[in-house]
Amino acid sequence: MTLRFGTDGVRGSANAELTPEMVLALGRAAASVLGGPRFLVGRDTRRSGPLLCSALAAGLMSEGVDVVDLGVIPTPGVAARSADTGMPAAVVSASHNPFADNGVKLFGGGGRKLADAEEESIERWLAELLAGPDREKCSAPGPVALAPEVQGARAGGLRPGRPAAVVGSAVGSAVVDSEALEWYRQRLVGSLQGRRLSELAVALDCANGAAAAVAPEVFAASGARVVATVGTSPEGTNINDRCGSTDPSALVSAVLSTGADLGLAFDGDADRVIAVDGCGRVVDGDRLLALFALDLRSRGLLAGDTVVVTVMTNLGFHRAMGAAGIGVHTTDVGDRNVLAALDANGWSLGGEQSGHLVFKDLATTGDGVLSGLLLADLLVRAARPLAGIAEDVMVSFPQVLRNVEAPDRSRLVGAPGLWAEVAAIEADLGGQGRVLVRPSGTEPLVRVMVEASTVGAATDAAERIEVAVRRALSLG
C-alpha cells in the first residue's frame, strides 16, 4: 500500500492506514523532491501528532535535511512561516476529520501549495521506498518537471542512481522554533493595519485544535472582548468533537447566552472559519465570501473585480455577484484549486462554502483566524450587525448534501445509470437548481449536492441520486 494525495495532502487512520513507516518514507520523498537544507514541521493537537511528526522528521533528517519544529500551530501559521523563510514545510493534521485520523499537508518554499508534478514525483518516490527492503532492486522514478524554484534543490540522499545513504555529519538535525507561534500571532494582529475591533463582543470556538493556541490572544490583542470560548482545552482526543466549524451548535449557545455580537468557529487546523450572528444563525463561507467581495470592491481592493469559488458554491452567490457586477470564476473543490486560479490570474479573493477563505494579498493559503479578524473589522467599519448584512448579501437556494460511504469510488465514471438519473433531475430543475456528484478527495465518500427552489424538491432529488449511487457502486 502507498499514499496518494487527495484534495489537501494525504490522510488516513493514524497508525493503521497512515503508519509511521509510511510517513517516514513520505519525509524522505519530500526531502528529495522539495529540497532543503531546512524543512519546517508543525502539527495540530491530535494524540497521534507527535508520533507522526517524529516519523516525518526522521525521514527528512535521514536525507540530510535539518528539521525546524514549530510545535502546535495552525496550518496557515506554518504556511506563513514558510513564506517568510523560504523553507518548504509540512503540517501533520487531518483538518476537520475526527481525532483518530491524521494527515500530512506539504508546502513548497514560500508557503505555496504543491504543483501536480511535485505531488506525482513524491508519490513515485513513495512507491519505490515502500516497495520492499531491497533498495537496490528498485528503479529510480523517471524525471519530473518541477517548479523553477525547486529545480536543483534536491537533497543528497534520494537521487537517480541510488547513492549511498547519508551518514555522519551529513545526517540532518532538529531544532525547535520557539518564536514561531508568537510571530504568527503578531502577524495576524498586524493584518488590521492598526485598526481596532472597538470592544466588539466575540465568542470563539477553537475546535480543541490548533486555533486554541492563537485565536483568543489575537482577538483580545486586537481590541475585541472575548466573552466566551468553546473548544479551547485540547486533550488529544477531543479535536473537532461536537465543536468547531463542522458542528457550531455549542458556539450558537455561547453567542445567545452571552449576547456576543459575533461567533467564530474554526476547524482543527484553523484554516477555515464559520460565523454565527448575534441571533444565533450560522453564516457559511458563501455569505462570508460575498460580504468580503462587496467590501473589497467598494474600497478598490478586489483585483480584477473577480472572486474565485468552487463548484460547491451556492447558486444564490453567483446571482448576487452578477447583480453587483462582480465576476465569478469557478474551480473544482479544494482551496488548492482556488489558490491556483488566484495565482494564475492575479486575483485577490477566493474561497469555499466550507469556510476556506483566501485573501491572496495577505496569505498564501486559507486562514480561519485571519478571515475571522477581517470579518470583525468589516462589522466595525460598517457599524452594522452581522445578522443584518449577512441576510441582505444574497438569497441562498436550498441546498441538500448527502454523503454515501463508498470505499471504491472509481466506478462512478463508468456508471451510465447514475449519470442518466442526474441528467433527468437536472432537466426537471431547469434553471432553478443544479446537481453535483463527486468522490471526496479526503474521505471514502461520494458526495451528493442538490440545489433547488424548495427544500422539498432538493431533498427528493438528493434521495433519488443517493439510491442511484448505491446501485451503481453495488452498495445495497
Residue with cell 502507498: 2
Say how far apart CA 353 and CA 239 lie, in whole Å.
21
Write out the E strands in 88-224: 89-92, 101-108, 112-113, 174-176, 201-205
Write out the E strands in 267-326: 273-277, 282-283, 306-310
Residue of 374, 16, 375, 386 whose CA lies nearest to 192: 374
Residue of 106, 77, 83 whose CA lies nearest to 209: 77
Residue with cell 493534521: 93
Residue with cell 520492499: 132
End-to-end CA distance of the chain: 27
Given a contact cutoff of 8 angstroms between Cβ atoms, the answer to whether 266 and 244 are in contact is yes
Residues serving a catalytic function are 95
Write out the E strands in 223-311: 225-230, 262-266, 273-277, 282-283, 306-310
Please give the backbone phi and psi of residue 286, each rounded to the nearest 5 degrees, phi first.
-60, -50
